Structure 1
């Protein structure tokens, strides 16, 4: 009887494993596409765009196509790093303001830091491009703050900026969940 039960269980286990593998491949492919495209998205038309770290060519392309006036780098100033120096030089070359705001995806922002980021986004010359390394976590929080506190599009739209659609995985045991905790903490003044 045990052998017979095993014979019936094995095909079910194989089917479950195949489905899990297929699902993993689909999710992995989606995340790969996000990175290949720079994870660039329109948040509020003519006001706010979000992305991963862009190449100089992509920054010129998106800057020209969308009329971007300000780049907000959420990775913080990193003089001497190739990506940073290229971004600053490209921004200057095409007449964009470049602003650094250092934050970590694995550390919650204090109320004062969240308020400072929101004020920076409120007063920056529009349209604004906000970016971090992958365009998922830090860019997601900055976009959520903008959507809630500046564009007044409501809580659901704001929370949607921190979602799998943009590559953000909201699981409490992952470091980037600090972005979700920050958004929850600032909810009283962000709406």
Structure 2
């Protein structure tokens, strides 16, 4: 009987087709989930009655969230942009709702310095609650802030806190994305604080 050399090739082709099909299915599922997050403005509860997170909201959406969840502080991680339509509309919506507004300028692609991190942690610790945190898409900067809150304020284990930086909320630090800077920052805070306590900033760091 002659050996059937075509059988291994046939098995390989079937396996390759299965892998490709699985990859396409996973990619399609991820795309659908990302679309859903944008449709819902990535609006989530982190700690009931304490902390909420979202993407950039239109003024009427923001007012609805503030009223519905009795938000007392809105933390904008996109920074202050006087004169920009979205920024002025947000400031007015927060002011009209009687809530406090805090702006911090963060990048999703670069690690914040120690001073900025300390400012964020102080805002999370001292701002009137409930708090709503947002950036543009509500995935990366907002994910880092939410993870830090869970770690430093709620005392959650690092792995549990880090779940706030996951694809569940649209965080995608792979391939050519540079948003892994948020994960690196979180890991550094974990190492510095050993999982608890406020972020400590040295005098040298504050002077920079």
TM-score calculated relative to the size of structure 1? 0.91
RMSD: 1.9
**Are residue 101 (structure 1) and residue 109 (structure 2) matched?**
no
Match of 1:165 in 2: 168
What is aligned with 1:81? Answer: 84
5+ unaligned residues in a row in structure 1: which ranges?
none
Per-residue deviation at 1:173?
5.5
Alignment of 1:130-169 (within 5 A): 130-169=133-172
SS at structure 2 position matched to 1:143: helix
Structure 1 residue ranges, 4+ long, deviating more than 6 angstroms after superposition: 1-4
**Deviation of the 1:154 alpha carbon:** 2.4
TM-score with structure 2 setting the length: 0.84
Structure 2 gaps of 5+ residues are: 197-208
Cα gap change, 1:172 to 1:30, in 2 (>3 Å): closer
Whether the 8 Å CA contact 1:137–1:176 is kept in 2: the answer is yes
Q: Does 1:39 align with 2:45?
A: no
Structure 2 counterpart of 1:51, from 39, 54, 57? 54
Q: 1:19 offset after TM fit, Å?
A: 1.8
